């Protein structure tokens, strides 16, 4: 069970904002790290929408997560520029290191790995984002170091 | 006979004072400004291919097949989303367009199964010969079929994501149960939050199935039986909305019921009952042969029609000989056609020679008839349904249209989404109070039984704050009556602050609601049995009419006082003279002139003295003065209040004749069972809540071998009355001769016009959609003082809760029909709704069995805890016979019409682990009295 008081507090903050559902979803995701399914009915009620409509919005945006993410989120660019600079090989390496596929979260809840299509930093391809911090010109060799750096090790 | 395929203009009709001329493929056409190119083309029968467009919903422009070329415009705009412009030159076919359309179609087909389907038909139509992409790439061909709904399935492999289903659910039905899940190639149609259709908010109205252009949404019955080959236009036999339907038939078998676009009450929409829940008509429980027995403990004996009619007539004659002319009578049915009802009241007046005729409207809308006649002059609602589209504020009182009148509720919701205001006066938080995109501006959750106090308080605000329409009152209403009423209403006993103690609703909220109704423009009142089924039912109807007159809200589009009639022909059965004091057309039996007309037509003398009302019939039966009864299509043993008393009365009869589809609860006490016909076999007319007379046409022959009207006529003839007709149209002709408001109605006129709203007279030969336009039917509008008198049924220490009752979407009244359909998947038992506080005080948790006790009796139901209830009030439906909801209801009734006070019963509720004694007995008695001899 999630903390519904917390959910209500977030939802109440946005419910009178016109077209506030997107803002609200961001708020909920920020509070819980994902959009718990228990909050869908509450948001539908607050914005006077159907739960199907809320679901339609959540499922449209890949950035809204419906399950808890790993403690660390690794996002790796799969777009053309990064691919031409070796992101395919890098992706394979990252999968090996984290022992998960794109779109998955590791069993211990430590890592999530996501595909991204362009960070807008093509001049310095390939790009990887670790916990919100963008790293440019990442190679198979320095990825693990970057990952550890993030751990504060 | 052929299959009716209705024309789809692709985009909705636009209304405009300005017309636009344009040219499409060399043909000129003129259409209102705002019309799409597609609609303009289709009005001159120029077909533009399309998949995602429908004139039931706004254009969407997703399928890209309807592209056209427009002179001077770059590219190829979609004709569905492009409005016409003056002198536009449009080309709908060209080599370029064909190439684009085939290219799009080729993409669709690359992800579509190779089978007989509308999409493959369209591909063929466009001349697509090959598919260069093949079907090996990523596709959706292996999608899992959702067949959770009992009536239709969803096969995503055929879906092209045009979202017509989603849009139909939103724009037509107003439920918003569907969405497009995900994006891009991964997107799919999802019910609810990626649930099955059954688990989602889907109400199974069928709008999505009807809208689907690719058969991804598909009726199971069409899959089983095959495509229909012809259609018969008829009228639904459930609620008082009276939707027009096309019964689609293959050989002699009904395949499906499709809502009829030209149906003026429904405009092509439907609900789960009309659309899907008609299979009771072909259910194996239907009794097909007449049956008789000497005692109700004997098994039934199947006999031929001749023997059954002879047995019935001679028994009735013997009883009259022994106990007098007035010892027999009957009840007409609001489920039967006008013609069938007319002949039953004629049977009673002409053959039984008394006025002991009543109808089930007694227990629902009799106060409507009384209240509206006394104030306005006509026993009927004032508006046509479409009037709601011009309302600025709606007041919904004691009605739950989304469950009980779903198709009209969809229309109300459409208007509310356009911005009309809404006031709901109801003890419960109904769906209209709050649901997706709908939110009542005011919900006044009054305590059951305090309607009159509430309406007086609203009127008090209107008069004290000067919000009435004095010009309207001066011109159209009786001044003395108004002044008297005004003096009464202005008394502080009627102020919101004073009545708060009765209603439990904050005075400030009542004041705001009153101001909103009186000052928002067109105000329309819609009400249901939550108004009528009270000891002050008639007073409340009068109170609403007073308020509407005082604010000038009668006699135009968008306003009015409108009963939402519960049954398909409750208006008609009342019109047909089913009351003991009134001949057809609401003329008193004591009126020599009116009665004289009937005597002349029928060639005999009629009794000038009113007969028994239903409750009096039961009382007289218990006293031994009333010995025989003919019950047409009504299950009084389940539907009427105080079941113990009703059963005692039925038990005391020497001869009970039941005419019905099924061996219902009443038939347990019967001596003669006359099998009735379903609406699919009937030939006649129904009259809906907006006074609309619509044709009911037979889809199949009477499976009983005899039409119902003919059965009643034969009994009449066997008793010596002249009742011979060759065809039901002759009955309507007789009705028209005898009933001024039906003067120009005939089957031919109905076939010509589609439907007619009475009065249909020489002044209004095509009928009357809005009543009282040039003045009230009674002359001057009559204000009547409505003093609030609390019901004697009130909560006490012993019975601290108030029980109120109602209907649910998937079931219908006593459930005789809907229980015999797959609708039980949504509701297979009646449940007691209780507020969390009341439940907690009694240690009740959701799903507990609870004993409900009133001063009349007790029954056991399962409890559901819900905040839709207010503390102190509990609620249940009455669809299942074993629930015995009417075991607990009382014998209180409306002072003017004896309509029972179903909506207020003081009860106590507590946990239990067994059935009630009545339920135990019911189980045993139920089977023993239904035995048919082998």
Query: Is A52's CB within 8 Å of B437's CB?
Result: no
Using CA atoms, how far apart are residues B865 and B412, in angstroms rounded to an integer? 29
Strand partners, B32: B19
Query: At B1, is the pLDDT very low, low, confident or very high (cuts 50, 70, 90)?
Result: confident
Phi, psi of B358 (to 5 degrees): -145, 175
Query: Is A56's CB within 8 Å of B191's CB?
Result: no
Q: Based on the domain organization, do A83 and A142 belong to the same domain?
A: yes
Using CA atoms, how far apart are residues B77 and B36, in angstroms rounded to an integer? 11
pLDDT of residue B310 exceeding 50, the answer is yes
Using CA atoms, how far apart are residues B565 and B573, in angstroms rounded to an integer? 12
Distances (CA, A) of B396 to B402, B422, B810: 12, 8, 21
Nearest residue in A to B175, CA atom: A50
Nearest residue in A to B437, CA atom: A48
pLDDT of residue B882 exceeding 90, the answer is no
Choose the mutation target among A21, A36, A50, A64 for the interface with B, i.e. most B CBs under 10 Å: A50
Q: Where is the domain boundary, A31, A60, A89?
A: A60
Are A66 and B181 in contact by the 8 Å Cβ rule? The answer is no
Q: What ipTM score was computed for the predicted complex, to two decimals? A: 0.91
Q: What pLDDT is stored for residue B927 in this prediction?
A: 78
Tens of pLDDT, residue by residue over B19-31, are: 999 999 999 999 9
Are B76 and B100 in contact by the 8 Å Cβ rule? The answer is yes
Nearest to A90 by CA among A118, A124, A128: A128
**H-helix segments, B110-144:** 118-125
DSSP classification of residue B907: E
Using CA atoms, how far apart are residues B838 and B323, in angstroms rounded to an integer? 52
Our CA-based measurement puts residue B201 at a distance from the nearest CA of chain A, in whole angstroms, of 8
Q: Based on the domain organization, do A46 and A115 belong to the same domain?
A: no
pLDDT of residue B758 exceeding 50, the answer is yes
Nearest to B905 by CA among B889, B892, B884, B891: B889
Query: At B136, is the pLDDT very low, low, confident or very high (cuts 50, 70, 90)?
Result: confident
Are B595 and B589 in contact by the 8 Å Cβ rule? The answer is yes
Are B122 and B73 in contact by the 8 Å Cβ rule? The answer is no
Nearest residue in B to A58, CA atom: B182
Query: At B924, is the pLDDT very low, low, confident or very high (cuts 50, 70, 90)?
Result: confident
Phi, psi of B173 (to 5 degrees): -85, -40
How many residues does the structure list for chain A?
153
Quick check: is A98 in a domain?
yes
A141-148: average pLDDT: 87
Phi, psi of B318 (to 5 degrees): -60, -45
Q: Based on the domain organization, do A76 and A55 belong to the same domain?
A: no
Chain A residues in contact with B439 by the CB 8 A cut-off are 48
Query: At B201, is the pLDDT very low, low, confident or very high (cuts 50, 70, 90)?
Result: very high
Query: At B881, is the pLDDT very low, low, confident or very high (cuts 50, 70, 90)?
Result: confident
pLDDT of residue A151 exceeding 80, the answer is no
Nearest residue in B to A56, CA atom: B181
pLDDT of residue A153 exceeding 60, the answer is no
B441 contacts: CB under 8 Å, gap ≥ 6? B421, B422, B423, B513, B516
Please classify residue B127 by burial: count the beta carbons closer than 10 Å to its beta carbon, then call 0-12 exposed, 13-18 middle and 19+ buried: exposed
Range of the domain at A31: 4-60
Using CA atoms, how far apart are residues B399 and B241, in angstroms rounded to an integer? 14
* A138: its two tokens: 């990442």
Our CA-based measurement puts residue B161 at a distance from the nearest CA of chain A, in whole angstroms, of 13
| Average model confidence (pLDDT) across chain B | 95
Using CA atoms, how far apart are residues B766 and B758, in angstroms rounded to an integer? 9
Strands (E) in B364-492, as ranges, are: 393-397, 421-425, 434-435, 438-439, 442-444
Are B407 and B434 in contact by the 8 Å Cβ rule? The answer is no
Nearest to B523 by CA among B415, B451, B373: B415
Residues of A at the B interface, defined by Cβ within 8 angstroms: 37, 40, 44-45, 48-56, 59-60, 62
Our CA-based measurement puts residue A52 at a distance from the nearest CA of chain B, in whole angstroms, of 4
Total domains present in chain A: 2
Are B276 and B270 in contact by the 8 Å Cβ rule? The answer is no
**H-helix segments, B93-159:** 95-109, 118-125
Task: Give DSSP secondary structure letters for B190-201.
Answer: EETTTB-TTTSS
Min mean pLDDT across A60-74, B324-338, B696-710 is at: A60-74
Quick check: is A67 in a domain?
no
Q: Based on the domain organization, do A116 and A80 belong to the same domain?
A: yes
Using CA atoms, how far apart are residues A58 and B181, in angstroms rounded to an integer? 9
Quick check: is A18 in a domain?
yes
Are B510 and B341 in contact by the 8 Å Cβ rule? The answer is no
Using CA atoms, how far apart are residues B745 and B140, in angstroms rounded to an integer? 55
- Which CATH number do you get for residue A101? 3.40.30.10
| Tally of CA atoms within 13 A in the half-sphere of B85 that contains its CB | 10
Q: Based on the domain organization, do A54 and A116 belong to the same domain?
A: no
Tens of pLDDT, residue by residue over B790-828, are: 999 988 999 999 999 988 899 988 888 999 999 999 999
Q: Based on the domain organization, do A45 and A99 belong to the same domain?
A: no
Chain B residues in contact with A55 by the CB 8 A cut-off are 179, 181, 190, 192-194
Start-to-end C-alpha separation, chain A: 33
Q: Based on the domain organization, do A49 and A94 belong to the same domain?
A: no
Are B405 and B435 in contact by the 8 Å Cβ rule? The answer is no
Using CA atoms, how far apart are residues B608 and B591, in angstroms rounded to an integer? 8
Please classify residue B715 by burial: count the beta carbons closer than 10 Å to its beta carbon, then call 0-12 exposed, 13-18 middle and 19+ buried: buried
Quick check: is A147 in a domain?
yes
Phi, psi of B615 (to 5 degrees): -60, -35
Nearest residue in B to A48, CA atom: B436
Query: At A152, is the pLDDT very low, low, confident or very high (cuts 50, 70, 90)?
Result: very low
Quick check: is A66 in a domain?
no
Q: Based on the domain organization, do A137 and A79 belong to the same domain?
A: yes
B490-508: average pLDDT: 97
Using CA atoms, how far apart are residues B842 and B321, in angstroms rounded to an integer? 57
Query: At A147, is the pLDDT very low, low, confident or very high (cuts 50, 70, 90)?
Result: confident
B360-388: average pLDDT: 93
Quick check: is A145 in a domain?
yes
Q: Based on the domain organization, do A16 and A42 belong to the same domain?
A: yes
Quick check: is A44 in a domain?
yes
Closest partner CB to A50 (pick from B176, B182, B194) = B176
Are B104 and B90 in contact by the 8 Å Cβ rule? The answer is no
Closest partner CB to B193 (pick from A45, A48, A55) = A55
Q: What pLDDT is stored for residue B815 in this prediction?
A: 86
Using CA atoms, how far apart are residues B263 and B407, in angstroms rounded to an integer? 12
Q: Based on the domain organization, do A81 and A10 belong to the same domain?
A: no
Closest partner CB to B437 (pick from A48, A52, A54) = A48
**H-helix segments, chain A:** 4-14, 21-32, 38-47, 51-60, 80-84, 87-98, 143-151
B47-72: average pLDDT: 96
DSSP classification of residue B931: -
Q: Based on the domain organization, do A105 and A131 belong to the same domain?
A: yes
Q: Based on the domain organization, do A47 and A84 belong to the same domain?
A: no
Quick check: is A138 in a domain?
yes
Our CA-based measurement puts residue A54 at a distance from the nearest CA of chain B, in whole angstroms, of 8
Query: At B338, is the pLDDT very low, low, confident or very high (cuts 50, 70, 90)?
Result: very high
B257-278: average pLDDT: 96
Phi, psi of B641 (to 5 degrees): -70, 160
Q: What pLDDT is stored for residue B787 in this prediction?
A: 95
Q: Where is the domain boundary, A40, A60, A80?
A: A60
Closest partner CB to A52 (pick from B182, B191, B434) = B191
Using CA atoms, how far apart are residues B679 and A25, in angstroms rounded to an integer? 51
Tens of pLDDT, residue by residue over B429-441, are: 999 999 999 999 9
Nearest to B189 by CA among B171, B213, B216: B216
Placement of tokens 């398909």 in the chain? B568
Task: Give DSSP secondary structure letters for B534-601.
Answer: STTHHHHHHHHHHHHHHTT-SSSTT--EEE--SSTTHHHHHHTT-STTEETTTEETT-HHHHHHHHHH
What domains, with CATH codes, occur in chain B?
A: 19-125 (3.10.20.740), 152-282 (2.20.25.90), 291-364+570-725+748-753 (3.40.50.740), 366-563 (3.40.228.10), 801-928 (2.40.40.20)
Q: What pLDDT is stored for residue B917 in this prediction?
A: 87
């Amino acid at each position: 069970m999630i903390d519904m008081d917390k959910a209500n507090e977030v939802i109440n903050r946005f419910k009178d904002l016109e077209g506030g559902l997107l803002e609200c979803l961001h708020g909920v995701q920020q509070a819980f790290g994902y959009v718990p399914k228990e909050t869908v009915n509450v948001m539908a009620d607050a914005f006077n929408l159907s739960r199907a409509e809320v679901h339609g919005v959540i499922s449209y945006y890949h950035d809204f997560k419906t399950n808890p993410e790993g403690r660390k989120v690794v996002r790796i660019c799969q777009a053309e520029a990064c691919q031409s600079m070796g992101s395919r090989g890098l992706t394979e390496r990252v999968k090996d290191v984290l022992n998960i596929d794109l779109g998955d979260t590791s069993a211990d809840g430590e890592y999530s790995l996501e595909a991204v299509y362009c960070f807008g930093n093509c001049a310095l391809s390939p790009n990887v984002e670790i916990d919100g911090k963008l790293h440019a010109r990442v190679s198979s060799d320095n990825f693990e170091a970057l990952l550890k750096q993030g751990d504060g090790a | 006979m052929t299959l009716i395929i209705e024309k789809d203009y692709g985009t909705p009709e636009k209304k405009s004072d300005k017309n636009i001329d344009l040219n499409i493929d060399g043909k000129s056409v003129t259409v209102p400004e705002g019309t799409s190119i597609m609609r303009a083309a289709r009005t001159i029968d120029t077909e533009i291919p399309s998949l995602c467009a429908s004139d039931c919903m706004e254009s969407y422009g997703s399928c890209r097949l309807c592209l056209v070329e427009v002179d001077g415009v770059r590219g190829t705009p979609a004709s569905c989303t492009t409005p016409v412009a003056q002198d536009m030159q449009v080309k709908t076919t060209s080599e370029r367009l064909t190439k684009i359309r085939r290219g799009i179609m080729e993409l669709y087909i690359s992800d579509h199964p190779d089978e007989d389907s509308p999409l493959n038909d369209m591909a063929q139509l466009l001349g697509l010969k090959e598919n260069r992409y093949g079907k090996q790439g990523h596709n959706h061909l292996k999608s899992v079929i959702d067949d959770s709904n009992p009536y239709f399935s969803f096969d995503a492999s055929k879906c092209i994501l045009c979202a017509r289903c989603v849009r139909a659910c939103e724009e037509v039905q107003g439920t918003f149960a569907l969405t497009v899940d995900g994006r891009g190639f991964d997107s799919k149609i999802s019910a609810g939050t990626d649930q099955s259709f059954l688990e989602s908010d889907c109400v199974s109205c069928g709008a999505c199935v009807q809208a689907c252009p690719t058969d991804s949404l598909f009726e199971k019955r069409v899959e089983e039986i095959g495509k229909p080959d012809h259609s018969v236009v008829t009228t639904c036999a459930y609620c008082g909305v009276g939707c027009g339907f096309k019964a689609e038939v293959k050989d002699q078998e009904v395949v499906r019921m499709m809502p009829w676009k030209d149906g003026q009450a429904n405009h092509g929409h439907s609900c789960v009952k009309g659309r899907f829940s008609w299979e009771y008509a072909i259910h194996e429980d239907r009794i097909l042969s007449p049956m008789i027995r000497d005692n109700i403990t004997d098994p039934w004996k199947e006999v031929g029609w001749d023997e059954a009619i002879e047995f019935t007539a001679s028994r009735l004659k013997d009883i009259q000989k022994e106990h007098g002319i007035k010892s027999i009578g009957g009840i007409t049915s609001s489920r039967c056609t006008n013609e069938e009802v007319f002949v039953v009241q004629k049977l009673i007046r002409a053959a039984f020679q008394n006025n002991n005729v009543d109808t089930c409207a007694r227990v629902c809308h009799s106060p409507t008839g009384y209240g509206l006649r006394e104030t306005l002059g006509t026993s009927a609602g004032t508006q046509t349904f479409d009037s709601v589209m011009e309302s600025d504020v709606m007041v919904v009182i004691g009605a739950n249209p989304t469950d009980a009148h779903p198709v009209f509720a969809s229309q109300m919701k459409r208007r509310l989404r356009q911005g009309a205001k809404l006031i709901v006066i109801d003890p419960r938080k109904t769906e209209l109070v709050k649901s997706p995109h709908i939110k009542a501006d005011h919900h006044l959750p009054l305590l059951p039984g305090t309607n009159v106090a509430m309406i007086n308080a609203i009127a008090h605000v209107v008069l004290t704050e000067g919000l009435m329409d004095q010009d309207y009152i001066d011109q159209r209403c009786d001044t003395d009556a108004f002044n008297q009423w005004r003096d009464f209403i202005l008394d502080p006993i009627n102020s919101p602050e004073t009545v708060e103690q009765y209603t439990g609703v904050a005075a400030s909220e009542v004041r705001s609601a009153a101001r909103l109704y009186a000052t928002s423009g067109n105000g329309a009142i819609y009400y249901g049995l939550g108004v009528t089924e009270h000891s002050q039912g008639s007073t409340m109807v009068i109170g609403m009419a007073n308020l509407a007159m005082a604010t000038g809200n009668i006699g135009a589009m968008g306003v009015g006082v409108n009963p939402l009639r519960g049954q398909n022909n409750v208006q008609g059965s009342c019109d047909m003279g089913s009351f003991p004091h009134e001949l057809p057309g609401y003329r008193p039996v004591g009126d020599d002139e009116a009665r004289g007309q009937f005597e002349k037509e029928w060639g005999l003398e009629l009794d000038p003295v009113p007969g028994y009302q239903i409750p009096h019939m039961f009382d007289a039966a218990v006293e031994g003065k009333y010995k025989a009864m003919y019950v047409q299509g009504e299950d009084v043993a389940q539907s009427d209040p105080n079941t113990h008393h009703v059963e005692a009365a039925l038990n005391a009869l020497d001869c009970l004749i039941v005419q019905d589809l099924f061996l219902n609860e009443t038939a347990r006490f019967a001596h003669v069972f006359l099998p009735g016909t379903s609406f699919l076999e009937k030939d006649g007319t129904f009259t809906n809540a907006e006074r609309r007379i619509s044709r009911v046409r037979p889809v199949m022959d009477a499976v009983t071998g005899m039409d119902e009207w003919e059965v009643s006529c034969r009994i009449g003839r066997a008793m010596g009355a002249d009742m011979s007709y060759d065809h039901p149209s002759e009955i309507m002709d007789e009705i028209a001769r005898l009933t001024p408001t039906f003067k120009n109605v005939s089957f031919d006129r109905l076939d010509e016009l589609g439907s007619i709203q009475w009065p249909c007279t020489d002044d209004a030969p095509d009928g009357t959609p809005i009543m009282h336009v040039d003045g009230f039917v009674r002359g001057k509008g009559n204000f009547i003082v409505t003093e609030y008198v609390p019901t004697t049924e009130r909560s006490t220490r012993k019975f601290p809760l108030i029980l109120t009752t109602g209907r649910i979407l998937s079931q219908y009244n006593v459930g005789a029909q809907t229980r015999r359909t797959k609708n039980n998947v949504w509701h297979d038992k009646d449940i007691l709704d209780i507020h969390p506080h009341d439940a907690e005080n009694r240690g009740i948790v959701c799903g507990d069995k609870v004993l409900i006790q009133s001063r009349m009796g007790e029954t056991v139901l399962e409890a559901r805890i819900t905040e839709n209830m207010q503390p102190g009030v509990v609620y249940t439906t009455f669809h299942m016979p074993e629930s015995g909801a009417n075991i607990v209801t009382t014998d209180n009734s409306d002072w003017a019409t004896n309509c029972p006070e179903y909506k207020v019963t003081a009860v106590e509720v507590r946990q239990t682990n067994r059935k009630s004694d009545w339920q135990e007995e019911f189980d045993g008695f139920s089977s023993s009295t239904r035995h048919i001899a082998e």
